[in-house]
Amino acid sequence: MTQSNDDYEVKKSDSEWKKELDPLQHHVLRDHGTERPFTSPLNDEKRTGVFRCGGCGEPLFDSSTKYESGSGWPSFWAPKDGAVGTTTDTSHFMTRTEVHCAKCGGHLGHVFPDGPRPTGQRYCMNGAALRFDEKK
Catalytic residue among 56, 101, 104, 124: 124
* Residues 6+ away with beta carbon under 8 Å from 41: 127
d(CA 119, CA 24): 30
Residues 107, 32: contact at Cβ < 8 Å? yes
Helix (H, G, I), strand (E, B), or coil: what is residue 127? Answer: helix
Is 124 assigned a catalytic role? Answer: yes
Task: Enumerate the active-site residues.
Answer: 124
